[in-house]
């Protein structure tokens, strides 16, 4: 009764009943602490405000070093980024150095050869015709004569020339080392050591001269086919043949890569240096072309010369009759002097440009010589004609078989089931008779 009255009228709470000393299961929970945290690492805004650190009622966040990036990080935390950035700077610097070096070498080359080109051709480069005084060309003041030499890539430069008697046009390509990419350069050197088909990287100049060969009327304005007298004055045709002066180091590779050179025979001569040889279709052609001026130019150029080729045949093996149509060209390939001294190679380059004049004047040989030259060409033409006829015959057989099959299918569709059965049985009998005849003929 007393307990009920105390609970109703707010009497004193009864004290906790004592836990028996012998009951150890409840001893650990007798004095359990209140579940509120005993310590807070971060003081609340209210407590800071009460202490006077912040104005009362302010919602500002307390200052910590995590809001200053220079306090959170140190330079040692950016080692990986620093290495990557350093590599990028090195790659960019190597690329810029390599491209600028190649441009300087290209400028040296065109500065040395531009006077010869301007003297021999009316149009040189891609900027249109220029007025010239005494054959002099001012290219030294240009950073890179883009109107004369075009940069197709950091390692490849080209130029073009036209407007000369007996010459339709001239293409020149200058290929330099990949100085802007040392890894690619090292890889090419390494591959050349293990594979004979891959040549070691080198700086090359390749020029292709296309003669008119009596076809001025097709390209030169005003020279119409009906203008007989004009065609007579500008006649520039000569006999077709293949002839070359080749460096022996590149002779094997050249014979493997080019069909036109492969049809010639090789013969050394005491007139040329020991490192050079002649590839020709006739001794009379060699006697005519191996002039003292050419011998002197080859000696001056030395082993920088790769080859000079006069040809009317394709580079690749002809696969069709259209590929056997003669197309006359003259090729010149030389290494670029590493020293930058072009005085030794300029005479050969100038002789190469003027070679069409020599051919037009004297490359008209006896019928016996031309008959020997045409032998290989006629054999190739006959072989291709035979292959073409066989291909056409095979196509006709295929068409014939298709027509027979179509006729058979139509005949079968027109018959009923019984008639189709008889038709197939007769067809089978015919095939068996044919096979028996083949077996008999083989025996």
Choice between 69 and 327, residue whose per-residue pLDDT is larger: 327
From 231, 226, 261, select the one nearest 246 (Cα to Cα): 261
Question: pLDDT value at position 385?
Answer: 83
DSSP state of 136: B
Token pair for residue 277? Answer: 């040889």
Q: How confident is the model at residue 63 (pLDDT cuts 50, 70, 90)?
A: low
Q: What does the pLDDT look like over 383-436, one tens digit per residue?
A: 888 888 888 888 888 888 898 888 888 888 888 888 888 888 888 888 888 788
Our CA angle for 193, 196, 197, nearest 5°, is 120
Tokens matching residue 258? 């080019």
pTM for the predicted model, two decimal places: 0.71
- What are the Cα distances from residue 75, in Å, to 66, 68, 71, 227? 16, 14, 11, 83
What is d(CA 37, CA 26) in angstroms, rounded to the nearest whole number? 24
Region of poorest pLDDT, from 14-28, 63-77, 275-289:
14-28
> Cα–Cα distance between 281 and 368 in angstroms, integer?
12
The angle at the Cα of 328, spanning 174 to 199, to the nearest 5 degrees, equals: 40
Which pair of structure tokens corresponds to residue 376? 């290989």
Indicate whether 206 pLDDT > 70: yes
Residue 373, token pair as written in the block:
């030259």
Q: How far is CA 283 from CA 275, 278, 345, 368, in A?
A: 20, 10, 27, 12
Largest CA distance in the chain: 153
Q: What is residue 144's predicted lDDT score, i.e. its pLDDT? A: 44
Asked whether 388 and 321 are in contact (CB, 8 A), the reply is yes
Provide the pLDDT for residue 391.
83
Long-range contact list for 320-326, CB < 8 A, 24+ apart? 320/384, 320/388, 321/381, 321/384, 321/385, 321/388, 323/384, 324/377, 324/380, 324/381, 324/384, 326/240
Please check whether residue 189 is in contact with residue 199, taking contact to mean a CB–CB distance below 8 angstroms.
Answer: no
Pairing relationship of beta strands 265-267 and 329-335 according to DSSP bridges: unpaired
Residue showing tokens 């295929």: 398
Q: Give the confidence band of 382 by pLDDT, cuts at 50, 70, 90.
A: confident
| Residue 89: predicted pLDDT | 95
What value, to the nearest 5°, has the Cα angle with vertex 348 and ends 261 and 170? 70
Neighbours of 126 (CB within 10 A): 13
Dist CA 150 CA 147 (whole Å): 7
Q: Determine the average pLDDT of the residues in 363-386.
A: 88
User: Does residue 132 sit in helix, strand or coil?
Assistant: coil
pLDDT reported for residue 422:
84
Residue 232 has pLDDT above 60, yes or no: no
DSSP per residue over 301-360, as a string? HGGGEEEEEEESS-SSPP-SGGGGS---EEEEEEEPPTT---TTTHHHHHHHHTHHHHHH
pLDDT at 141: 43
Q: What are phi and psi of 210, to 5 degrees?
A: -110, 110
Q: Determine how many CB atoms are found less than 10 A away from the CB of residue 124.
A: 31
Q: Is 133 helix (H, G, I), strand (E, B) or coil?
A: strand
Cβ contact 315:258 at 8 Å: yes
- For the record, the structure tokens of 267 come out as 């013969």
d(CA 332, CA 349): 8
* Mean of all residue pLDDT scores within the chain: 80
Distance between CA atoms of residues 51 and 408, nearest Å: 110
Structure tokens at 175: 């290929």
pLDDT of res. 83: 92
Distance of alpha carbon 382 from alpha carbon 377, whole angstroms: 9
Q: Quick one: pLDDT at residue 231? A: 42
pLDDT recorded at residue 34: 53
């Amino acid at each position: 009764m007393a307990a009920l009255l105390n609970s109703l009228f707010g009497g004193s709470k009864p004290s906790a009943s004592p836990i028996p000393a012998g009951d150890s299961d409840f001893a650990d929970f007798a004095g359990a602490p209140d579940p509120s945290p005993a310590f807070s690492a971060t003081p609340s805004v209210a407590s800071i405000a009460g202490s006077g650190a912040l104005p009362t009622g302010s919602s500002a966040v307390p200052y910590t070093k995590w809001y200053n990036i220079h306090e959170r990080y140190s330079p040692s935390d950016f080692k990986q980024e620093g290495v990557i950035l350093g590599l990028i700077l090195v790659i960019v610097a190597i690329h810029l150095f390599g491209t600028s070096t190649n441009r300087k070498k290209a400028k040296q080359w065109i500065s040395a050869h531009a006077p010869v080109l301007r003297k021999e051709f009316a149009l040189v480069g891609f900027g249109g015709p220029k007025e010239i005084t005494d054959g002099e060309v001012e290219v030294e003041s240009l950073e890179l004569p883009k109107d004369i030499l075009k940069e197709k890539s950091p390692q490849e430069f080209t130029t073009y020339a036209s407007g000369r008697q007996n010459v339709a046009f001239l293409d020149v390509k200058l290929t330099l080392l990949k100085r802007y990419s040392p890894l690619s350069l090292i890889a090419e050197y390494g591959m050349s050591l293990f594979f004979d088909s891959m040549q070691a990287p080198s700086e090359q100049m390749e020029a292709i001269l296309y003669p008119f060969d009596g076809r001025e009327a097709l390209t030169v304005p005003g020279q119409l086919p009906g203008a007989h007298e004009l065609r007579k004055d500008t006649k520039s045709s000569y006999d077709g043949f293949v002839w070359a002066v080749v460096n022996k180091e590149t002779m094997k590779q050249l014979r493997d890569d080019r069909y036109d050179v492969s049809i010639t025979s090789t013969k050394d001569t005491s007139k040329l240096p020991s490192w050079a040889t002649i590839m020709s279709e006739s001794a009379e052609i060699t006697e005519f072309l191996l002039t003292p001026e050419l011998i002197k130019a080859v000696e001056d150029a030395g082993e920088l010369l790769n080859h000079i080729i006069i040809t009317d045949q394709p580079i690749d093996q002809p696969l069709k009759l259209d590929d056997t149509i003669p197309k006359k060209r003259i090729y010149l390939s030389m290494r670029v002097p590493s020293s930058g001294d072009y005085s030794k190679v300029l005479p050969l380059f100038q002789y190469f440009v003027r070679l069409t004049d020599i051919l037009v004047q004297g490359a008209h040989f006896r019928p016996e010589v031309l008959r020997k030259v045409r032998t290989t060409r006629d054999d190739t033409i006959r072989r291709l004609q035979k292959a073409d006829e066989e291909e056409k015959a095979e196509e006709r057989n295929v068409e014939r078989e298709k027509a027979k099959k179509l006729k058979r299918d139509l005949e079968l569709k027109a018959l009923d089931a019984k008639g189709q059965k008889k038709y197939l049985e007769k067809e089978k009998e015919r095939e068996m008779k044919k096979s028996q005849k083949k077996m008999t003929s083989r025996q």
